[in-house]
Structure 1
Amino acid sequence: MVIVSVTPEIGLDEGYTYSGGLGVLEGDKFYAMARMNKPYVVITLLYNNGYVDYIFDNNNNPVPVPQRHSKTFRSMLNPAGYLRINLKDTEVYVSVLEYRLNNAKVVFLSPQSPRWAYDLVDRLYIENDIDSKFYKYALLAKGAAEYIRSRIGLRNVDVIDLQEAYTAMLPLVLPLPPQKYRIIIHTPGPWGHPSFPAELFRREFGFRFFEDPVILTELGLSMSSEVIVVSKKMRDVVSKVIPHHMHKVRAVTNGVDVIRWVDGRVLKAYMEGGLNIDALSRIKREMASELEAYLSKYKPGLRINDSLTVAWIRRLTRYKRPDFILRFIEENPQRDDVVFVLGGKAHPFDEWGLSMMRRFRELAAKYSNVVYIHDYDISVAKNILPKVKLLLFTPFPGWEASGTSFMKSSMNGTPTLASRDGAVPELITDGFNGWLFGFDERYLVDIGSDPRANEINEKEYSEFSYKLNQVIQLYYNNRDEYWKVAVNASLTLISNADIVNTLKQYYKL
């Protein structure tokens, strides 16, 4: 029996078919399932120009540019014929490209004609209007349905996992018993729960919904036998949003692929039972010189030596609070003994996030110990997360579904200073394998309009700043205690946050 996962994005080690955490997580699942030689099929769209990269104009404004797929990525994809689907009362020809690894494969759907269908998949999560967005995901649903029918066979399907609400149109075009479908909700935030005018559904599918607009999450919740959320805290948060579906909700905390993300030297020491302070400190000294060489392309002349390296590096959006590290650096200019590695990019329609890109770049120009990496992606993450000595994880309480960057860094002996959000309360104990700040709120506060948001931010920033200064002092004044926390981070997270543990809760492996 075949396990099917339908997703709007997947982050492989090559190609630009992802934007952030969901895609990277789906990539981790794929590589782990392939390594276990399981019959696993991921169905997604092939975006002609990826997600987004940036260049900066003379006024320091980020200018979005396409992401061109490499020849290496293109060569990985094997042509597997065509599908024909009906969209907007027109026959659409969809090229099927497959990436196989052992008994698992990723199926990329690439519409070729007519031209308007080809243009639907120009970029991931970037559309010109609501109609284009609707038809992009209608295309994914109809293409996935046809592939499952004609290439896998309905009798051979064990379960179909719908990753995020963008895939929730599939049960409309492939009606199966509810036990065949599960929806996995990867974010409590509104961007993960799109809605569309009921007229578009009537026109394309022939359904006349009572609700207008139609919320895709509600469709997926109603037509699936089970709802999976990606941390225990998220289950508490969504209980106040979808109380009428809580009888179907189960928490399965995310993990990461140890083989993909843990440095070979750290993993070898762990597997041989020799991951201790001496071993980790030696490995980190080697990594410091490697990191210095890597960062020199962003900051020529940078010297790290024995400095504490601190990273805030992830998608730039308001709820992740990049302004915390900006404020700390400006308020603590005397901390020139610390190298700050800032990274991330915003969605091109997110003006607040774009403003953070400008500020990150200005800070890197102003301070010799600040580096900004604007082209953050999987390859950058593999060079930064294992090799810095402290990761900052600062989401607003209640808004982070799980988070996995802190898992990747911790596994490599890079402890995290984190807010109490997502999967952090399950995996990090303050002062033992990382450090914590802030409140463990388990409800959604509107960070754009609720006056409580500013109050929470101020209180949490105060504790964040205090804790970060404490960790800096610990590193320079009591190095053995720092290394104890770092070793504990690696030992506990490799054991407790392995993606294999997650997959065993999803499937009968």
Structure 2
Amino acid sequence: MTDFKNFSVPYEIAPEYSKKVAYFSMEFAIHQPLKIYSGGLGFLSGSHLRSAYELGQNLIGIGILWKYGYYDQSRNQDQTLKPEWYEKTYSFLVDTGIKFRVTVHDVPVWVKAWYLPPDTFKSAPLFLLSTDLPENDYLSQTITHKLYDSDTAAKVAQCLLLGIGGAKLLDELNFNPDVYHLNEAHGVSSVFHLMRKFGKKEEVKKRLVFTTHTPEEAGNEKHDIHLLNKMSFFNGYSIDEVKEMVGFTGDIFNHSLAALRFARKANGVSKLHGEVSREMWKFYPNIPEITHITNSQNFKYWSDKQLYRFMENDDEAGFDDRKWYLKKRAFEIVADQTGKLFNPNVLTIVWARRFASYKRAELITRDVRRFDALMRNTKFPVQIIWAGKPYPLDYNAISVFNQLVHLSKNYPNMAVCTGYELTLSKRLKQASDIWLNNPRVPREASGTSGMTASMNGGVNFSTYDGWICEFAEHGKNSFIVPPADYSNMHAEDQDDYDFEKLYEVLENEILPLYYDDREAWRNIVQKGMKDVVGFFESNRMAKEYYEIMYNA
């Protein structure tokens, strides 16, 4: 029986990872049945918890139990996107029996803690907070209904719950971490609980580290300081006290800047993102050192082990047959969703990740004639699959998704899938020969989907951004859209340039190689598989967090 009043991590701790860490994140993608994530941030934190478990680290996760998850991706009658929200229930979560109150908008709100034991999905212990309790009024219950609620007050309440609620839970558990790790700034309200607990900013700073995932200042959460004060975000501290604590002068509270001012150390999530972050914050005083730890993904969860075995045994026929089977199996899902039966012998391009404007899902389609010629090419045939979830109120991204759906009606070799969660993500990576990634440089902080594509025999084809800058060797383990001096280009010019170069590489290098020299193609696939495990596996990342952030 777990003792939740004096909680300790219930597996053997490796001596080098003995420091107690509480890891705060708004979302965790641990496994398909636990739908409390939206995209890359969750995939990253899920892999982190899996590696913490594998390495025997003294780390626990703190998150929120979202009653309706992010949303369920369904379709309208014409196949376009339809967001739906269904209540989720999880028999595998353990009721800790812990209930406590946090103050939201001057009202006490009851919070209940649920627990995901390590053995369930082979992850570090995870505690999830819920306000969906009969003791609360309806408005308070809705705080934990939808991940990233579009209502500003609801979003503030969610951040307050993760931060202050998460810090309070640690007191209830008597866990007393040596390090509070904020994965993105959603949980920054925790500092106002820790100030009450430790009394001095210096004492809080000793214990706090912060990971930023956002490469542009505009993307960092900001709110009116008076709204936050009304909502009890500052845990009883006055606006003047908060301004003095965080070093703000105006009436805008920048969550990331506050996290930086309270952290003894901070990190970006790729080498390039570390540079971008240092540049972005360099004019702000009292910022800690911003280093970088490149995001990574968990090999045990994501990789196809049989592909690796065939590769290690130099069994080329077995390797090719396994990849053919993986494609065929994934294509059954595509056929089930879209009625289109793809051919495992045809080069398959997959674009699948969170739909956001800067990721440019539609880039390859922007010249209708050029795209049409590509799709009707009989000498070098292609198949293309898209998938991903736009934010349900991001009408630009939804419009792009729907445009692709309508375009796909013209081609038997083009499909747009729904339900892009962990399971479909894994299957589409296994389906991919080419994993297409074309964000506007330098807006992708890391972009980890290509790592797991490589672990399943997909070759990355990407603009030169995020983690790719540390991984890619063009024509050896991946293909790159040749970079330019984007700093002097307008977005439209950048899109035109990248589009032209993308087609040049695809038509002149990738397609001929795939169809005319399978041995050379297999070498690129396998070098990508080896290189990704060499540095972009999350055990390396989890180890570096202890070495660079927690123990330093």
TM-score under structure 1 length normalisation: 0.92
| Distance in 1, Cα, partners of 2:254 & 2:327 | 48
Give the 5 Å matches for 1:463-478: 463-469=501-507, 470-478=509-517
| Distance in 2, Cα, partners of 1:383 & 1:344 | 13
Per the TM alignment, residue 479 of structure 1 is displaced from its structure 2 partner at its CA by 1.7
| Distance in 1, Cα, partners of 2:537 & 2:184 | 22
Instruction: Pick one of 285, 291, 296 that aligns with 1:250.
Output: 291
Contact 1:232–1:423 at 8 Å: present in 2 too? yes
Distance 1:32 1:88, change over 3 A: same
Deviations along 1:199-247, whole A, 9 cap, x unmatched? 1333322332332111101100000001111000011212221014665
| Distance in 2, Cα, partners of 1:192 & 1:276 | 47
Per the TM alignment, residue 187 of structure 1 is displaced from its structure 2 partner at its CA by 1.9
Deviations along 1:139-191, whole A, 9 cap, x unmatched? 2212111111121343xx12111011111121122224312111100121457
**Which deviates more from structure 2 when the two are superposed, residues 90-99 or residues 325-334?**
325-334
| Distance in 2, Cα, partners of 1:139 & 1:381 | 30
- SS of the residue corresponding to residue 392 of structure 1 reads strand
Report the equivalent of 1:25: 44
Asked if residue 161 in structure 1 is aligned to residue 181 in structure 2, the reply is yes
Per the TM alignment, residue 134 of structure 1 is displaced from its structure 2 partner at its CA by 1.3
| Distance in 1, Cα, partners of 2:174 & 2:124 | 13
Report the equivalent of 2:24: 6
| Distance in 2, Cα, partners of 1:294 & 1:171 | 46
Deviations along 1:47-93, whole A, 9 cap, x unmatched? 11111223333455533211442x5xx01210002122222222211
| Distance in 1, Cα, partners of 2:226 & 2:458 | 51
Instruction: Pick one of 146, 149, 158 that aligns with 1:123.
Output: 146
Asked if residue 64 in structure 1 is aligned to residue 105 in structure 2, the reply is no
Give the 5 Å matches for 1:252-401: 252-269=293-310, 273-274=312-313, 277-300=316-339, 302-327=341-366, 329-330=371-372, 332-335=374-377, 337-401=381-445
Per the TM alignment, residue 431 of structure 1 is displaced from its structure 2 partner at its CA by 0.7
Report the equivalent of 1:36: 55
| Distance in 1, Cα, partners of 2:91 & 2:475 | 47
Asked if residue 207 in structure 1 is aligned to residue 238 in structure 2, the reply is yes
- SS of the residue corresponding to residue 177 of structure 1 reads helix
| Distance in 2, Cα, partners of 1:326 & 1:161 | 41
Per the TM alignment, residue 275 of structure 1 is displaced from its structure 2 partner at its CA by 5.1
| Distance in 2, Cα, partners of 1:63 & 1:125 | 17
Contact 1:221–1:227 at 8 Å: present in 2 too? yes
| Distance in 1, Cα, partners of 2:263 & 2:179 | 11
TM-score under structure 2 length normalisation: 0.85
| Distance in 2, Cα, partners of 1:282 & 1:495 | 25
| Distance in 1, Cα, partners of 2:299 & 2:307 | 11
| Distance in 2, Cα, partners of 1:104 & 1:247 | 28
Unaligned runs of 5+ in 1: 446-450
Unaligned runs of 5+ in 2: 1-18, 196-202, 244-248
Give the 5 Å matches for 1:125-164: 125-128=148-151, 130-154=152-176, 157-164=177-184
Distance 1:65 1:464, change over 3 A: same
Per the TM alignment, residue 277 of structure 1 is displaced from its structure 2 partner at its CA by 4.2
| Distance in 1, Cα, partners of 2:376 & 2:250 | 57
Contact 1:232–1:252 at 8 Å: present in 2 too? yes
- SS of the residue corresponding to residue 83 of structure 2 reads strand
Contact 2:375–2:413 at 8 Å: present in 1 too? no
Deviations along 1:96-118, whole A, 9 cap, x unmatched? 10001058311110012132211
| Distance in 1, Cα, partners of 2:353 & 2:217 | 19
Distance 1:3 1:486, change over 3 A: same
- Aligned-CA RMSD value: 2.1
Instruction: Pick one of 127, 144, 149 that aligns with 1:107.
Output: 127
Deviations along 1:274-329, whole A, 9 cap, x unmatched? 25644432321222322232322123351314111110111111110112132363
Number of paired residues? Answer: 495
| Distance in 1, Cα, partners of 2:66 & 2:364 | 33
- SS of the residue corresponding to residue 240 of structure 1 reads helix
The residue identity in structure 2 corresponding to 1:152 is N
**Which deviates more from structure 2 when the two are superposed, residues 403-412 or residues 274-283?**
274-283
Instruction: Pick one of 200, 222, 232 that aligns with 1:195.
Output: 222
**Which deviates more from structure 2 when the two are superposed, residues 91-100 or residues 318-327?**
318-327
| Distance in 2, Cα, partners of 1:465 & 1:152 | 58
